[in-house]
Structure 1
Amino acid sequence: MRKQVALPTVSDRAALLTQRRNIKMAESAHAYVRGSTSKFYEWLDTASKAKLPEGPAIWICGDCHIGNLGPVSDIEGKVSFQIRDFDQTVIGNPAHDLIRLALSLAFAARGSNLPGIMTVHMMQALLEGYAAEFVPGDETEVEVPLIVRKAMKRARCRTWKHLARERIADISP
């Protein structure tokens, strides 16, 4: 006969989830960036306002990191690479999203043992891409890197069943 495991109470849930998140965040710098949204904004609050560019108050992701970017399909099946997580969306300074995304990219590059110059190229491409969106009348198509095209091609063929097979360990009721 199986021994019954006591489930945590509702009041214990927050502490257990915080502990679990902290353990995941301690595993890597990239995981820390992904799981520390509140710490990121605490850090921004302590930074000198003069050092941050001031953008217009617009809708921002609020948690813009590489884990929240990926292929998204529209109703006609056209796939594009976009932000795909809006649970922390707020009206704020767009520089906050850019700084958070740049930090995430830099940590991912560092964790992948890429040479430092690659991180510089990534930051430059991020800023150039952002600035290009503000050039009036410029509808120039940006060349999509091969790795992104491959990811988008795979995304076009995926269904909810693929995701279920990846994420659900035991499908029995």
Structure 2
Amino acid sequence: MSLSERIIESNKGLLSEMVQLKYQAMSENAFRFFRGTCDLFYQDLALWKAIPKSPLGWICGDLHVENFGSYKSDDGQVYFDLNDFDEAILAPVVLELLRMITSIFLCFDFLELEEVKAANMVQVFLKNYSTVLVAGKARAIEPRIAKGIIKTFLDAVCKRKQTRLLDKRTEVKKSKVVLSLEDERHFELEKDLKEALTAHLTDWLKNHDKSPYNFKVKDVVFRLAGTGSVGTKRYMFLLESLQKKGKYLIVDMKQSQPSVLNPFVKIKQPEWSCEAERVVFTQELSQHMPCALLSYTIFKGDSYVMKEMQPTEDKIKFRLIQDQYRDIYQVIDDMALLTASAHIRSSGRSGSAIADELIEFGKRTDWQQILIDYSQAYFKKVKKDYKIFKDGFESGLYAI
């Protein structure tokens, strides 16, 4: 199949009007194109016959530099960690590393930094990943122990108040607080769907052990967010406290699709009740502490991951630190620590390798240059594919 046929095929079954917005986002630059084509990455990787052997682990499946960020957990603490598990699966951990280090090459190219600097940073990532594996102890990053730009970043997000999130996401209409439709990422729902969602979440609030039971639903909209997940169903709810006037929560409800790695990973997987259970299971294993209200639900036959949206949620904006090489170095080093920690934390669970196997893998170095060479070559392929895609998008090839 041609590149355009592969892209169109991979987005079949998604909301067509939202897929057009996804294509528009993918046309911005090669890095965002890469983020929106995770399935193409694994289709191409399946053709490579020299993938080094590695232990099985619970991987997020779509690891790249934009899939780390800050969040508040149920314990009230703010952490910096992996934060996207839509494609999570039991697979050789080397797949996680290949996707991540390819993203480093693409991110540095986006930032207009020399390729040699990207190659050096990839070596930094793999070296620290291996060092943490060999130590065999999972670690976490929170404000008290963070360093450099991550500490500055976490200290800043910790100061954000709930009113910041409400100011961004809500407005007052007829003396009532509602979700704002002025935000270009928010879309109004048809009346019947809105009523069905409100009834569903009301039931969830009353009966689910992870829900904030002392809240009621005030409003709901369709929400657009991310790149790869654009086209799936995603809703945002405004909840109001039944006990404290003027206190609100915002909850995200995101549809889970089968992992794009399914056709390429021949490892026997657990039997999940739904796709969202897989996502939540992996996230709870991999993060030091899961994000607040993390759970899943079934609505009209589709499964959804639930979580609280918070003012402390954010990502490192690499464009703002592109001239600060030392800061970028620290961020990539921390991302390596967190990746290794996630693999250690989820070791020995439901088919994944035990920690001893990960430690032995970390001691080996024979696989590292092989990954670097592949990722460096593949990053150049992505740039060529992006140019083909952008030309096709601008010519109307992807229009409905």
TM-score when normalising by structure 1: 0.76
The match for 1:150 is 152
Offset of residue 72 of structure 1: 3.4
Partner residue, 2:119: 120
CA distance in 2: counterparts of 1:135 and 1:151, whole angstroms:
28
In 1, the alpha carbon distance for the partners of 2:139 and 2:67 equals 25
Kindly state the Cα deviation for residue 13 of structure 1 after the two structures are TM-superposed.
Answer: 6.4
Partner residue in 2 for 1:45: 46
Structure 1 pair 40–137 and aligned structure 2 pair: CA distance change class (3 A): closer
Sort the Cα spacing of 1:154 and 1:23 in 2 relative to 1 into closer, same or farther, 3 A: same
Q: Which string of whole-angstrom CA distances, capped at 9 and with x for unpartnered residues, describes residues 74-117 of structure 1?
A: 44554432101112211112111111111222211111112333
**Which residues of 2 match residues 86-165 of structure 1 at below 5 A?**
86-136=85-135, 145-165=147-167
Aligned counterpart, 2:329? none
Using the TM superposition, give the Cα deviation of residue 67 of structure 1 relative to its aligned residue in structure 2, in angstroms.
1.7
Mapped to 2, the partners of 1:45 and 1:60 lie a distance apart of 17
Which is richer in strand? 2
Conservation of the 8 A alpha-carbon contact between 1:77 and 1:156: no
Structure 2 unaligned segments of length 5 or more: list them. Answer: 1-12, 179-400
Which residue of structure 1 lines up, in the alignment, with residue 27 of structure 2?
26
| Aligned mates of 2:22, 2:112 — CA distance in 1 | 25
* 1:35 shift after superposition: 0.9
* CA distance in structure 1 between the aligned counterparts of 2:157 and 2:94, rounded to whole angstroms: 29
Structure-2 change in CA distance of 1:67 and 1:79 (3 Å): same
Higher alpha-carbon Rg: 2
Q: How many residues align?
A: 159
CA pair 47-28 structure 1, distance change in 2 beyond 3 A? same
Deviations 1:116-173 (A, max 9, x none): 332123211210121012224678999955221111112222344433444x375644
CA RMSD of aligned residues (A): 2.9
Distance 1:171 1:65 in 2: 38
TM-score by length of structure 2 reads 0.36
Distance 1:54 1:112 in 2: 32
